[in-house]
Amino acid sequence: MSGTPPGPGRPPETVPLPGGPDQSLALAAMMFAVSMTFIDQTIVAIAAPEITDELDLSSSGIRWVVNAYLLALAACFALGGRLADLFGHRRIMLIGTVVFVVSSVLCGCVPADGFAQTWMIVFRATQGIGAALMFPAALAVVVAVFPVERRGRALALFFGVAGGLTALGPLLGGWLTAWTWRAIFWVNVPIAVIAIVLTLLARIPNVVRRERLDIPGAALVAAGMALSVLGLQQAAQWGWGSAATWLCVAAGFATLVVFGWYELRFPGRPLIDLRVFRDRAFLADNAVLFFAMLAFVPMFFFASVYAQVSLGKSPNEAALYLLYFFVGFVVASQLGGRLLDKRGARPALLLGSAVGAAGFALWAARMTDLSFAEQWPYVVLSGAGIGFLLAPASTDAVNRAIDASYGEVTGITQTVRNYAAALGLAVFGTVLSHVTVSRVTGTLRSGGLPPDLAHDTAEQVAQSVAGRSGGSGPTGPGPVATALRDARAAIRTDFAEANQWVFYGMAAALALAFLCALAHPGTRVTGTRVTGRGKDGT
């Protein structure tokens, strides 16, 4: 209890000052709050087919429902951290929690009409904004209320428990979807209430800082991320030959370049201190994280839909399919942490990216067997690859902070991770749609449909990706409906072949992560000393 005098076996430094914050309550409150952000990265993937069926969303629409959250989180994370500094960590954490939970309720209350897709995308984006306000503020609260000698253990528990809840998303999603998919959003309400009550009881001080807010930087990074993801995700509908596709992509990446130029010349404290990227190890850590996250979060969406469409699994069964990934992830993350402590980040990054690339490639190769019994060892292997590298890369990056604070460097790595996840979902979603249309067109043509009609029907099937019987489309009497019924089994295989391309792409992303890991100088940070192959990072 707060203010209790030290007794036998209780070191004086663990006792909060009278009237000060209750450290245990504060830590519990922050873990409850951020657990929602981790769970929501994966929980929607399981319910995607159910949402698509009930709301009549297109495949592009359901990907935007998933991606709007990731993109808003990436674009606003650094801004959320800076707002927490300016207006108080406790205040911004509470505001972010309220924004997040209200948005969750509204997502669960979406009307099943023509406005449903826009409704879902808008409020998933505001969910992401709430998470971007909440997460860095919660992290700052933990850093502020714990003394230096206890902070490491508190942060390890904060990230360990909260990050481990990513695994709960698919399982919780499968169980709730069996009742109603809307419950995957409503479940955030009791968690948010607990987080808010604990925060108020913990008596966390609300310290503010008077600084200039980098509004142009925030606008540039948000616009650059949004435009680049928009172009890549809509390429399946607009076409790769469309001027709109390339205009969005080019404008997005050009805006991000301008953002970098502006941040380096900002006359005050920039939104993101890019000077930290001068450290080769930090740059390599974030490059590895970028390519790994191209596969990690998007995998939940694509594997879940593949399991339900091609394998004919229920949402609960699809959740168990993903659980095998987490078995490998959890075991390897423990080994990766030990490897980091003993030999530094480089061996863990190399091992993880190599194992991950092999796992995703072998998993992809077995997808057309349409048998989970043939796939599960490679699902475990893929999870192990990500598990080996994720924590070591993140921890080593944070240890490389120069004059940036722990929160600022974490903000950079979280921005990189979430932007990469949004890009991965956009790129691989476009690949999935394109290959599905190509394969299904061939199947329908072999069934007797004319080329133009076969292609138009295949596009309808690709846009109705949630059709568990092998793709939806025209029903009732007629040659198209008959061809679809006759080709149902073949279309399931077509969709599996399209997913093969996606998972081979994920293997390629992990191979690029391996090349980036080779560039890591191999130095280690121990306290204030850098040891290893050259203190200058060479």
DSSP 402-462: SSS-HHHHHHHHHHHHHHHHHHHHHHHHHHHHHHHHHHHHHHHHHTT--HHHHHHHHHHHH
Q: Rounded to an integer, what distance in angstroms lies between the CA atom of residue 224 and that of residue 244?
A: 15
Euclidean distance between CA atoms 527 and 538, whole angstroms: 20
The pLDDT assigned to 401 comes to 66
**Cβ(219)–Cβ(199) below 8 Å:** no
pLDDT of residue 411: 81
Q: How many CB atoms are located within 10 Å of the residue 476 CB?
A: 7
Q: Would you call 331 exposed, middle or buried from its count of C-beta atoms within 10 A (0-12, 13-18, 19+)?
A: middle
pLDDT score of 96 = 96
C-beta of residue 315 within 8 angstroms of C-beta of residue 177: yes
- Per-residue pLDDT of 217-262, as tens digits, reads 999 999 999 999 999 888 877 888 889 899 999 999 999 999 999 9
pTM of the model: 0.85
Query: Whole-angstrom Cα distance, residue 48 to residue 36?
Result: 18
Q: According to the model, what pLDDT value does residue 162 have?
A: 63
The confidence score (pLDDT) of residue 475 equals: 45
Close Cβ partners of 118 (under 8 Å, ≥ 6 residues apart): none
The rounded distance, in Å, linking the Cα atoms of 327 and 57 is 32
Are 461 and 467 in contact by the 8 Å Cβ rule? The answer is yes
SS3 375: coil
List the chain pLDDT tens, one digit each, 538 residues: 333 333 333 333 333 444 567 888 989 999 889 888 888 877 888 888 888 888 888 878 888 998 899 999 999 988 988 898 888 889 999 999 999 999 999 999 999 878 899 999 999 999 999 999 999 898 888 878 887 667 667 776 777 676 666 667 777 888 888 889 999 999 999 999 999 999 999 888 887 777 788 889 999 999 999 999 999 888 877 888 889 899 999 999 999 999 999 998 888 788 888 888 888 999 999 999 999 999 998 998 899 889 988 998 888 888 888 889 988 988 898 888 888 888 889 999 999 999 999 999 999 999 999 988 899 999 999 999 999 998 889 888 877 765 556 667 778 888 999 999 999 999 999 999 989 998 888 888 887 788 888 888 888 877 765 444 444 444 444 566 666 666 778 888 999 999 999 999 999 999 999 999 999 998 876 554 455 554 433 3
Determine phi and psi for 222, rounding to 5 degrees. -65, -45
Report pLDDT for 423: 93
DSSP secondary structure code for residue 525 in this structure: E
